[in-house]
Structure 1
Amino acid sequence: MYFKSVYKNYVLIGLLLILSQTGLMAQKLNIQSPNKKIKVALLKEQTGADKWFLRVYYGDTEKKEEVIPRIDLGLSRSDQDFADQLKFIKAGNPVLVTENYSAIHGKKSINTNAANEVVVSFQNPSKSKLNIIIRAYNDGVAFRYQFPESGGNFVVKDELTAYTVPPQNKRWLQKWNPANEGLYTAMEGAKNTVHQEWCYPALFNSETEKSWFLLHEAGLDETYCGTKLSDALDTTKYKLTFPNPQDGAGQGEVLPKITLPWKSPWRVIVMGSLADIVSSTLVDDVSPPSAITDTSWIKPGAVSWNYWSNNHGTKDFKVVTDFADLAARMDWPYTLLDWEWDAMGNGGNLEDAAKYILAKGVKPLLWYNSGGKHTYVPATPKDRMLTHENRVQEFTKLKKMGFVGVKIDFFESEKQDMIKYYLDILKDAADFEMMVYFHGCIVPRGWTKTYPNLMTYEAVRGAEWYNNGPELTATAPSHNATLPFTRNVVGAMDYTPVTFTNSQYPHTTSYGHELALSVLFESGLQHFADRPSGYDELPDAPKSFLKTVPVSWDDTKLLDGYPGKEVIIARRKGSAWYIGGINGESRTEKTKKISLSFLPQGTKYKLLLIADGPHDKAFFTRRLLVDSASTVDVRLLRRGGFAASLIPLEN
């Protein structure tokens, strides 16, 4: 359920708007966030070229740190350019944008989209208009382009947006790949680093280490393509670039086609402390409100999943029923039937499986190949999601059999035609009250706010990679401690976590580390990936924890951490709190003193702590009575971790 109210106020506290002219080279506009910590300046080059750029500052005092010294602006359209020789026309009246909305799943249930906004108007030498809409938030900056004139169809040849990042800044970047399933590389600065194309989101830490920022985009729709970052041509800048021609097996146009009037997606900079980054909902905040009126059928929940432990599990009716039984024993509402369900044998077919699952009080989800010429993967059924007519036919059958959601795989492109395909799926699924999980896909762009039936995305190197090779065995501890600061900041992430047994390649993370991922990683459908014995053989405390741990949250707070080294996050559901913490380092044990000062004062809580035992396959369980003045010492093995629940005493 979403509720919305937007107010525009022309007398704003906290908004500084200055437009001075001491000659053509001195035009300047500043806009501050409501809490005055973030300032965005619009400046013009002193070269006479009439090029405009943004500069972003952050800090608690008047003397703020210059975090991003320059963001180049501009677009190149098939008929003309909007970059050089842009004449400033006016800055519109400043407005306070306020939208309150609720989210069915995610890191927070009640959210506020609050910013100070200014629309700045320009014209190029042919007197065609370009607006730049700039917003300053308490947790970041967002801006977008607008062609306000009506009439005409054009191709966008290039977007000139480029972020200049000081060379001393630390950075965490993932090499571009269409599935967004790489590892993040931590770099101390720009010197001696590889220069190439990079995935969203990209994390940076300023030279002073006081401010952090995460680059992303949001509000992407069928009027544009997805973009990525590249420093291949200019090593001092991360420029937005369009999809590569070979993406999606070479299908689809690279350059987006637009019809005026038109607005670009938002260019989003999440900014502040690491805690601000982790708790931010800015990517959703700037995105359009819910297009679904009745959301009562959208139910987040845990899912049993047979692929990780048995790559051909859904081909076997007995395996399918075993995982339905697991979901029933663990009080998980869903089980997923992955690929090869159309070849199911050994006692039953798809219809038999659906009946069995429903009889157990569990609801089934079903996998599909996205189909089409954009993927070379031949796995069937391949084309049943490809057209509106096919989807209507398939969703009608699924609804009749009792299926409540679909997992759709192998998109492999972020070209404009593929963005439209994603959104068409979500619209048709909503008409049939079907939840959706995208796999082999785009990184979140805020779509869950608009289509809350979009429960989760893959777009991460998750536990599935234990099937693909030995690399994750060594890299998972640090990788897992990086994702809460990067990929999972911008939206739901189905890592398929919490595995205690091994797949084709073993993991070296402790049992405590694996349990912690149930809290650390946010996903509206949380696919727990281990085989039934992996959960059945757990001690009572961790088994009970996994039966009750939520997958959607009312609040999220970072308690401690640093990318790749460690992370401790607290999440609230109702009046209860849950904590997950991991050690991302492979050589050093740690003892962390955890302050519970985030708890409301005056309430006692029953703390259940499930931490590392004497070795990585053992747990240590402790129960305490605590309050907001309490601290708790927790020992983490190397590659270790812990999980905890805090239940109010009156409950």
Structure 2
Amino acid sequence: MRFTSGWMTLLFCFCCQQLLAQKLTIRSPNNKIVVGLHSIDNGGWILKSSYHVNGKLTEVIPEVKLGLKRSDQDFSSGLRFLKNSKTLPISENYSSPHGKSSSRSNSANEVTIAFENQAKAKINLIVRAYNDGFTFRYEFPGKGGSYIVEDELTSYTIPKDTKRWMEKWNPANEGLYAAMSDDKVQKQEWCYPALFQTRDTTCWYLLHEADLNRTYCGTKLSNTADQDKYKLTFPNPADGRGQGSSKPTITLPWKSPWRVIIMGSLQDIVASTLVDDVSAPSTVKNTDWIKPGLVSWNYWSSNHGTKDYKIVTDFADLAAEMNWPYTLLDWEWDAMSNGGNVEDAAKYILSKGVKPLIWYNSGGDHTWVSSTPKDRMLNHENRVAEFTKLKKMGFVGVKIDFFESEKQDMIKYYLDILEDAAKFEMMVYFHGCLVPRGWSRTYPHLMTYEGVRGAEWYNNGPEFTFSAPEHNTILPFTRNVVGAMDYTPVTFTNSQFPHITSYGHELALGILFESGLQHMADRPEGYRELPDFVKSFLKTVPPAWDETRLLDGYPGKDVTIARRKGKTWYVAGINAEGREKRKMLKLPFLEKGIKYKVNLIADGQHDKKFSVRSLEVDNSASVEVKLLRRGGFVATLTPTN
């Protein structure tokens, strides 16, 4: 092809414009992830991201638009680049008492970019490139003055042919994920986190936010204005029964939450702790009292179970039999009868060597739910009084429900609860709530969140019976990536609506789904009637992990995950599809030169039967496993020496 001199001049000018448009580049420590800052028309700025692996370059997000609108000034256009800092290496190691891994590394390269708007007001953009993604946040460096943030202009441009798994926005974050691409992409408001697969299929990314605190509100994603652009959007004014402002008020100096893009292979996504890594360090100095564990829970099998003292004591007996450290008194404990009240129940539970947990309505005008006890968590004075009583009675944790909003006043409420609970060494878990934003690093006594369509939905209608198998294989790649998830798994009997998952599938959920307090939801006879080898497994399965690895899987089809506790590996896999599968379980993650004993519990002849076998392997071995339609398996791998 021949170029005329005119074409050569145009090409030269275009290349110069491109060079001028790109101001700087930030690379991850391993150079796989590259983030570029570019100028666009009217003094606007965007980020572009790419992924480099095995000599291949993938454009991941072609445009992340930047900007904020404050009540006094606009910081979305007309921004003049002032300077950028030198690259600052971020290097920090920390530990977590529960979660997908116990030892964490917060390692990144950080650059701060300074801008000013047309009125000479300053705004900074802080960008970090990690080996498993990148993050950015806004900063107003000025001092003094309070302002309303009218809008955040951050948006992600996603090409139509990018496959995505997204959950339609709902305040409880309890929807189903829909897979979409091309002409099936819907225009909606969407929950975090959202999963995307790039067109070359090797690179994936997950959109989320972290380190949300009292200075801002939670956001969500919306492509209602432009199908290809997912804009960060403030809470709906009607959320929380219209209580509180949907627009946050900030006081300078101020930093926004981190905007988080976890990026890489599916294994990188599943193993990532990036949401915690960028969040504020722990405010709790002594964490010895924070004890993850399994919990017996009566609500799934008997919605009004806590009203009945005899049901409560039966679940306490179950916890003692199964070596589970906790049992939960759910709603209606203040109306308990049939042999005892809440004080009697606490004494009985403690006499069994089990520790009690207890439920509360979050109270206040933000929820329509009138279930009592209500308002006891609503303000500092009430919380102090209630925690004082609970401590004397032997309770060690509280479940607080029905928040129904992510407005700034509700974020403050969440964090006030956590700070007061820490003073009484009281573990906390939230229900009817937002999805994790990294708070379990800052407040490690926050053990788990709901924010998921879990097994409770077998009580809400027939739909979950048929959607659960596929849904269960999407959650390890989406919701459970960003933090603990109280799905309330491992149910073998039926509640109000039946399962079509196999017993092997249900057993696997106790490993696949990570939660610092893992609520085992079946009725006592559901566990007591299991074969002894299954009961033995459930008596020893850990609630927290030292390491997590994805071995195989694809959202909506199947998933196999390995988690290590000490020197023992626990592996679990499930099949969502309506056909039998055979999997070759490869074991290169095992320590070289060591023999391991494998105890494998898999699907049996039909979906209510198990098969069991033991064998010896090393890291070069492969183990064939049969999964029934909608089936599953678990395995423990223990060093023989």
Structure-2-length-normalised TM-score: 0.97
The unaligned stretches of length 5 or more in structure 2 are: 1-14
Distance 1:326 1:210 in 2: 46
What's the CA shift for 1:509? 0.3
What's the CA shift for 1:605? 1.0
Distance 2:186 2:127 in 1: 32
Aligned residue type for 2:112: V
Matched, 1:505 2:497: yes
Which residue, 91, 103, 106 being the options, matches 2:99? 106
Give the structure 2 partner of residue 14 of structure 1: none
Give the structure 1 partner of residue 6 of structure 2: none
- Say if 1:23 and 1:180 are closer, same or farther in 2 by CA, change over 3 A: closer
The unaligned stretches of length 5 or more in structure 1 are: 1-19
Aligned residue type for 2:173: N
Kept in 2, the 8 Å contact 1:37–1:61? The answer is no
Give the structure 1 partner of residue 408 of structure 2: 416
Kept in 1, the 8 Å contact 2:22–2:36? The answer is no
Matched, 1:549 2:541: yes
Which residue, 596, 608, 625 being the options, matches 2:616? 625
Matches within 5 A, 1:51-90: 51-60=44-53, 64-90=57-83
Give the structure 2 partner of residue 345 of structure 1: 337
Matched, 1:185 2:178: yes
- SS of corresponding position for 2:43: coil
Matches within 5 A, 1:234-245: 234-245=226-237
Matched, 1:615 2:633: no
What's the CA shift for 1:60? 1.5
Which residue, 418, 425, 432 being the options, matches 2:424? 432
Distance 2:341 2:210 in 1: 41
Which residue, 250, 257, 267 being the options, matches 1:258? 250
- SS of corresponding position for 2:53: coil
Q: Please list the CA deviations of residues 243-273 of structure 1 after superposition, one character each: whole Å capped at 9, or x if unmatched.
A: 0011101111000000000000000000000
What's the CA shift for 1:27? 4.3
Aligned residue type for 1:182: G
Matches within 5 A, 1:142-541: 142-187=135-180, 189-541=181-533
Kept in 2, the 8 Å contact 1:168–1:207? The answer is yes
- Say if 1:611 and 1:27 are closer, same or farther in 2 by CA, change over 3 A: closer
What's the CA shift for 1:312? 0.2
Give the structure 2 partner of residue 637 of structure 1: 628
- Say if 1:569 and 1:63 are closer, same or farther in 2 by CA, change over 3 A: closer
What's the CA shift for 1:61? 5.1
Q: Please list the CA deviations of residues 118-151 of structure 1 after superposition, one character each: whole Å capped at 9, or x if unmatched.
A: 0000000000000000000000010000000111
* Equivalences, count: 627
Structure-1-length-normalised TM-score: 0.95
Distance 2:140 2:185 in 1: 37
Distance 2:499 2:18 in 1: 64
Distance 2:548 2:22 in 1: 41
What's the CA shift for 1:190? 3.9
Aligned residue type for 1:410: F
Aligned residue type for 1:372: G
Distance 1:25 1:602 in 2: 55
Matched, 1:593 2:584: yes
What do you get for the CA RMSD once the two structures are aligned? 1.1
- Say if 1:502 and 1:63 are closer, same or farther in 2 by CA, change over 3 A: closer
What's the CA shift for 1:345? 0.2
What's the CA shift for 1:327? 0.0
Distance 1:24 1:388 in 2: 56
Give the structure 2 partner of residue 8 of structure 1: none
Kept in 1, the 8 Å contact 2:160–2:185? The answer is no
Give the structure 2 partner of residue 38 of structure 1: 33
- Say if 1:353 and 1:377 are closer, same or farther in 2 by CA, change over 3 A: same
Aligned residue type for 2:607: D
Distance 1:61 1:435 in 2: 45
Kept in 1, the 8 Å contact 2:99–2:515? The answer is yes
- SS of corresponding position for 2:276: helix
- SS of corresponding position for 1:530: coil
Distance 1:51 1:308 in 2: 52
Distance 1:210 1:582 in 2: 22
- Say if 1:582 and 1:121 are closer, same or farther in 2 by CA, change over 3 A: same
What's the CA shift for 1:59? 1.8
Q: Please list the CA deviations of residues 448-498 of structure 1 after superposition, one character each: whole Å capped at 9, or x if unmatched.
A: 000000000000000000000011100000000000000000000010000
Distance 1:578 1:560 in 2: 14
Aligned residue type for 1:395: F
What's the CA shift for 1:210? 1.3
Kept in 2, the 8 Å contact 1:36–1:60? The answer is no
